């Protein structure tokens, strides 16, 4: 499995993976993904098995603020508004591994490879993300990477069955010198 920047040609697979991994109430449009590619050309990564995309990590660089307003985390927000190539905080907007590849690579291994690639390529000192309380595997992976809940947005996610789930904003400090091993 190889980590490479995502390109426009991968967008149809990105959408396929998104649909296989997330409830349709949180699907984002191809145009938003395209805007993300244009804003941060080498910062959005895929993990590939040969030519096939197995999973992805979508990111922005933000200028660090101790606490952001909840609007920052809105689904489908324009990355142009907040991404700054000099930003030191890595915002992870999406992460997923296609279920059909999970027998070949665990999500936690994919995350380690993707985030390590990002950390080596960019001078970042922290990372932040929003995760649904319902996404237990993702939360376990983030916790293993030191992410801690810093804020909770009540009922942020409504799933297509009408249930509501809190959104957890989690942050970790990034230490370039102690990457990997423990997480894979
Ligand atoms: C998140 C995702 C990549 C994880 O991949 P995975 O192969 O299912 O997960 P892993 O096997 O790597 O498991 C990671 C950890 O979560 C734990 N875990 C898995 N399912 C769990 C559950 N339902 N409850 C609690 N822990 C769980 C595993 O035991 C493992 O912990 P361990 O290292 O202590 O064994 C995958 O489930 C996915 O793509 N989900 C949909 C998209 C998503 O939720 N993205 C997050 C966006 S913020």
**Ligand 1 pocket check for 139: Cβ under 6 Å:** no
The predicted structure's pLDDT at residue 63: 97
Instruction: List the beta bridge partners of residue 47.
Output: 3, 55
Q: What is the pTM of this model?
A: 0.94
How does DSSP classify residue 31? Answer: H
pLDDT range class, residue 181, cuts 50, 70, 90: low
Instruction: With CA atoms as reference, report the closest residue to 59 among 3, 135, 2, 140.
Output: 3
Closest CA to 183 of 49, 52, 175, 129: 175
Q: Is 183 in the pocket of ligand 1 (CB under 6 A)?
A: no
Given this model, what pLDDT does residue 78 score? 84
Beta bridge partners of 153: 167
Nearest CA to ligand 1 atom 3: 107
What is the band of 183 on the pLDDT scale with cuts at 50, 70, 90? low
Give residue limits of the domains in the chain: 2-183
Tokens matching residue 160: 């297509």
CA of 108 from ligand 1 middle (Å) equals: 7
Pairwise CA distance, residues 158 & 90, whole Å: 26
Q: In terms of pLDDT, which residue wins out, 77 or 102?
A: 102
Q: Which CATH number fits domain 2-183: 3.40.50.300, 3.30.70.100, 3.30.465.10, 3.40.630.30?
A: 3.40.630.30
Give 99-127 pLDDT, tens digit per residue: 999 999 999 999 999 999 999 999 999 99
- Say yes or no: CB of residue 100 within 6 Å of ligand 1: no
As a three-state string, the secondary structure of 122-153 is: CCCCEEEEEEECCCHHHHHHHHHCCCEEEEEE
CA distance 84 to 88: 9
Question: For 18-69, how does the pLDDT look when each residue is reduced to its tens digit (9 = 90+)?
Answer: 999 999 999 998 899 999 999 999 999 999 999 999 999 999 999 999 999 8
Helix and strand numbers, DSSP H then E, in the chain: 4, 7
Are the CB atoms for 155 and 120 separated by under 8 Å?
no
Q: 131 CA distance to ligand 1 centroid (A)?
A: 12
Pocket lining: 135 vs ligand 1, CB cutoff 6 Å: yes
Measure the CA–CA gap between 161 and 152, rounded to whole angstroms: 22
- Lowest-pLDDT choice from 22-36, 87-101, 152-166, 167-181: 167-181
């Amino acid at each position: 499995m190889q980590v490479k920047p995502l390109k426009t040609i991968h967008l149809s697979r990105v959408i396929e993976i998104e649909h296989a991994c997330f409830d349709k109430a949180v699907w984002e449009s191809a145009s938003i993904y395209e805007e993300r590619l244009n804003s941060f050309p080498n910062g959005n990564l895929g993990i590939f098995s040969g030519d096939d995309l197995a999973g992805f990590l979508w990111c922005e660089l933000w200028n660090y603020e101790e606490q952001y307003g909840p609007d920052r985390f809105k689904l489908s927000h324009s990355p142009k508004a907040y991404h700054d190539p000099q930003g030191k905080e890595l915002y992870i907007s999406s992460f997923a591994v296609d279920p059909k590849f999970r027998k070949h690579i665990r999500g936690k291994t994919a995350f380690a490879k993707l985030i390590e690639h990002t950390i080596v390529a960019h001078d970042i000192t922290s990372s932040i993300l929003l995760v649904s309380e319902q996404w237990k595997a993702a939360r376990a992976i983030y916790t293993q990477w030191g992410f801690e809940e810093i804020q909770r947005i009540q009922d942020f996610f409504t799933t297509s069955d009408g249930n509501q789930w809190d959104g957890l904003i989690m942050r970790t400090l990034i230490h370039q010198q102690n990457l990997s091993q423990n997480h894979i």
